[in-house]
Structure 1
Amino acid sequence: MITPLRLGARASLMSLAQSAPILAALAPTPMLLRPFSGEGGDRERDRAPLEEDGVFSQEIEAALLAGEIDVAVHCLKDAPTHDTPGLTMAAYLRRDDIRDCLVTRDPELRLDTLPLGATVGTASVRRAAALRAYRPDLEITSLRGPVSERLRSLFQHDVDALIVASCSMERLGYRHRIAERINPEIICPPLGAAIIALQTREDDMETRKRISKLHDLETEIEAETERLVLRQMGGFCNAPLAGYCKTNDDGNTVSYTVRARAFSPDGSVTIDARITGDDPTTAALAVCDVLTQRGARELAAA
């Protein structure tokens, strides 16, 4: 008899929606999905003022270390920047769209055509700073909670528009609500965006073997490169740091573009760095050096 694979995920509609394809891909392996409510932990934390790493994953990681589950399902951008001792990111699913998107009641509107003074809902420091820099006339309203609740606020006319992750809208079946996918030059994505990571115990080789078919090598390289930038710059889930690693493959050669942006929460100061090279680690370290030379650490401290 095959031992069921026990997966742990947060008990949110988003987490369960992104876990469903994993269960389907691992079939016919018998599986059990354990939702974690986060009571007394991460669900009681407001996202916007977070000032520590990994607060969304502590309960699931504790269960993984205790042997209560075999695999933890994470959104990489919410996972700890540093690997928890005894645990490892054993597989990365193929990356989805890293861009944020504009959601409006009028599908013809774009970020550039929103009326002067329109209210835009987001609790993200990163999105708010980018919007203030690009459209200082807009009124940014702090709006948190599940995507479904934010959509309800939009259609109840509490706000005029939302900025949401494109991959979130797609995973929840709301692709048709996307008015515009926003250029990363305008709103730079969070490091680790649009990546689902599967975490196991470091010594659990059997489980790692069972989930290996879900692993995407290109995504692993991008994910680990972005985590390196986070570690070097002291970033985490909602810190004023954004960026991505992009694989460039023309069929003959492969290179990697690493981009990172540090910014002040009010959007008045941004520091950008972008390096392309054959080795993603070298490019990431070079980007961190450029950010440091341009005052990113002092900006974060301020």
Structure 2
Amino acid sequence: MCRWAAYRGDPLYLEELVSSPAHSLIEQSHCATRAKTPTNGDGFGVAWYGDRSEPGRYRDTLPAWSDCNLRSLARQIRSPLFLAHVRAATGGGTRRDNCHPFVFENWSFMHNGQISGFERLRRPMEAMLDDELFNARGGTTDSELMFLLALQFGLRQTPIAAMAEMIGFVEGLSLNILGSALVRYTTAFSDGKSLYAIRYATDSKAPTLYASTLGGGFCLVSEPLNDDVDAWAEIPNGSAVVLGEDGIDITPFGAEKPTEAMPRVAVAMPA
């Protein structure tokens, strides 16, 4: 399983998540504590927003702990919204095109999880893409394909509903082709204005997701960046998170399209 961290709020140096904390993302790349395996050494990437609508991005196949450029960039780049990811490959080779975050136009996306039986599902999933999105596919991962499918299903207009429709499509395809469906899915994605996240699984083993205040904003992480347990709120399985101008909003999430009438989830955020 991969590890990731994302932030939205007042401009912040990337190093505040990537390299400075005691359990920073670089530390998690070789010593994760809340994942199946402690090592996430199959590449890394960061995407950040600045003056332009499209995000800047830096990715490489080196382990995050061994790339001196990552620490240097994280110390110099200051952004109000950014995503960072360290990869433990569950499918797809170790190559730059398979490293997260993935970007398309103004959107950025990163993922931790898996689709069981993906190799048998890949071709019909790709067949759902129009020519523009199919031609945008650069790698071979299930993560990138799920991102493009969400765009196909309307991510630009209704981000959370598009993700719900995409996951429902994948589950239906799995049932038809494999006879069963196993999707584990924790993701962060952004249009450059709001930061979204989803924690979901068809079983009880959704990859972890935590939230906390940081500086003048909020961060979302796969696992806490320090040992202060009171500073981190765990996001429940089956939740969608939106970080926007009005702060953090958490609602129930399922594979079927959620409705506006669904109740809010009570999650106590650290003061």
TM-score w.r.t. the length of structure 2 is 0.28
Between structure 1 and structure 2, the one with the greater Rg is: 1
Comparing both structures, which one devotes a greater share of its residues to strand? 2
TM-score w.r.t. the length of structure 1 is 0.26
